[in-house]
């Protein structure tokens, strides 16, 4: 009964309004998973049945056996870096003769340590080290979530499908209707990110990230994805009420009443949309919780997957998805 009520309200809502923001963000998170799986299947198809090497012709003599290669020599320790004194640098910059002064007055000093190279694939599998965010960093996170390419692709793709499926919607047919639908969806996301990722978490000092439990049992993790809708962590690492969801969804629906065409704005209809937002919120959490486990079992390290993981890890930021 509860599932039928949720499905009915979602379908009724999508008939006049773009899909709830959480559903679109869940689709945005699922899109990389689909691309990863497709890349894995293509990669497995190339490596599963390699072409056997052709048998050597009888007229061709096998190459003579070569002696075993000598053991590789140990490389000496890296030489110290050399830096010119400040006077030499100033003279070289002033006279434009740095090359002529390269051999004069050089002093060795220890080389600066190189920055570690980030393996975005491992970072995606294991999750980033979430750190407390300042209000400015929360604003940057909201902006990145909004202009994320996968998010924009979801918005424009949903708009195209909805307008093509129902040309008699309040948005109208053709490209004008497509533009209005896309604009409403983008505005909804912008409003949701402003309240749910920046303003409310900044006021209540709430961490907008989703916090995974990769070492817990599957039932425990499943319950965790549901509980995170109402109970999350603060900037200080302690548990607190998830004001970003409980209040953010209310602000979203109240603002939708102002500009979404064809939307019922009475209290019962707004309350039903708010309940639908709460009921569908765990979908995004489920994908964020279990998608890294799916990727870990695929064991694919092709270039396309690396680029996808790079984009997802950079967007969620350092994340789990807020």
The string of DSSP letters for 43-98 reads: HHHHHHSPPPPPPPPTTSPPPPPPPPPPPPPPPPPPPPEEE--HHHHHHHHHHT-T
Buried b / exposed e over 130-142, threshold 16 CB at 10 Å, is beebeeebbbebb
Q: What is the pLDDT of residues 118-139, one digit of tens each?
A: 555 566 555 556 678 899 999 9
The closest alpha carbon to 252, from 25, 11, 31, 7, belongs to 25
pLDDT of residue 73: 53
At 36 the pLDDT is 59
What pTM value is reported for the model?
Answer: 0.61
Phi, psi of 229 (to 5 degrees): -65, -35
Give me the pLDDT at residue 278, please.
94
Buried b (16+ CB within 10 A) or exposed e, 267-300: eebbebbbebbbbbbbbbbbbbbbbbeebeebeb
Q: What is the pLDDT of residue 43?
A: 57
Please report the pLDDT score of residue 131 as a whole number. 73
pLDDT at 296: 72
Q: CA torsion sign, 288 to 294 to 295 to 296?
A: positive
Q: What is the pLDDT of residue 93?
A: 47
Q: Which long-range contacts (CB under 8 A, 24 or more apart) does 74-82 make?
A: 78/111, 80/108, 80/109, 80/110, 80/111, 81/108, 81/109, 81/110, 81/111, 81/112, 82/106, 82/107, 82/108, 82/109
pLDDT of residue 249: 94
Residue 34: predicted pLDDT: 62
Q: Where are the chain's structural domains?
A: 18-40+130-315
Task: State the Cα–Cα distance between residues 241 and 206, nearest whole angstrom.
Answer: 9
Q: Which residues of the chain have pLDDT under 50?
A: 1-16, 48-50, 58-59, 78, 80, 82-101, 106-108, 301-303, 319-322
């Amino acid at each position: 009964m509860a599932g039928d009520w949720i499905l009915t309200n979602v379908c009724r809502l999508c008939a006049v309004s773009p899909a709830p923001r959480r559903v679109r963000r869940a689709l945005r998170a699922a899109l990389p998973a689909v691309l990863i799986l497709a890349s894995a299947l293509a990669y497995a198809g190339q490596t599963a049945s390699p072409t056997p090497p052709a048998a050597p012709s009888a007229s061709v003599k096998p190459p003579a056996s070569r002696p075993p290669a000598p053991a590789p020599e140990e490389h000496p320790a890296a030489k110290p870096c050399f830096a010119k004194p400040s006077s030499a640098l100033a003279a070289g910059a002033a006279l434009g003769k740095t090359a002529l002064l390269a051999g004069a007055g050089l002093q060795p000093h220890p080389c600066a340590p190189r920055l570690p190279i980030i393996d975005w694939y491992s970072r995606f599998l294991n999750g980033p080290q979430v750190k407390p965010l300042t209000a400015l960093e929360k604003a940057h996170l909201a902006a990145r979530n909004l202009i994320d390419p996968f998010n924009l692709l979801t918005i424009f793709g949903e708009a195209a499908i909805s307008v093509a499926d129902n040309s008699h919607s309040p948005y109208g047919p053709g490209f004008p209707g497509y533009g209005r639908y896309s604009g409403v969806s983008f505005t909804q996301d912008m409003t949701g990110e402003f309240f749910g990722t920046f303003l409310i978490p900044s006021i209540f000092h709430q961490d907008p990230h989703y916090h995974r439990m990769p070492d817990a049992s599957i039932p425990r993790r499943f319950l965790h994805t549901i509980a995170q809708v109402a109970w999350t962590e603060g900037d200080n690492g302690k548990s607190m009420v998830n004001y970003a969801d409980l209040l953010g969804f209310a602000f979203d629906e109240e603002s939708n009443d102002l500009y979404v065409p064809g939307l019922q704005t009475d209290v019962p209809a707004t309350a039903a949309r708010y309940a639908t937002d709460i009921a569908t919120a765990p979908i995004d959490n489920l994908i964020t919780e279990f998608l890294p486990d799916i990727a870990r079992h695929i064991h694919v390290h092709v270039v396309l997957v690396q680029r996808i993981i790079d984009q997802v890890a950079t967007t969620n930021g350092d994340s789990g998805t807020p």
